Amino acid sequence: MVNSQNKSIELKVFGNNIKIVTDEDEEYVFKVVSYLNSKMDEISKKVKIASDSEKMVLVALNIADEYMKLLDEKGELESLDGEYSNIISIIDDALHNDIS
């Protein structure tokens, strides 16, 4: 939910304290930060030798990968929705033609 007033929120992202100004709900912002931190922890467990900046790049790549896959799934669902709409139209037309 979007709140129309900007507010300052202090966060801990990847072990760094940062302050942001946002109009987003605090609970949502903390949910996003928690997700990012969990991704960083996941990468840190898998890649021991990478620097923090390299780990952040890997986190960004993983999130971009997830996002692109979701976009593909969304496109597939929209395509199916269009096909279902066509089928419904054909059935509707057939029913109306049989009634006439």
**With a threshold of 0.75, does the pTM exceed it?**
no
pLDDT of residue 7: 93
Average pLDDT, the chain: 88
- Across the range 79-98, mean pLDDT stands at 82
1 has pLDDT over 80: no
Intra-chain end-to-end CA distance of the chain, in Å: 49
Residues ≥6 apart with Cβ < 8 Å to 69: none
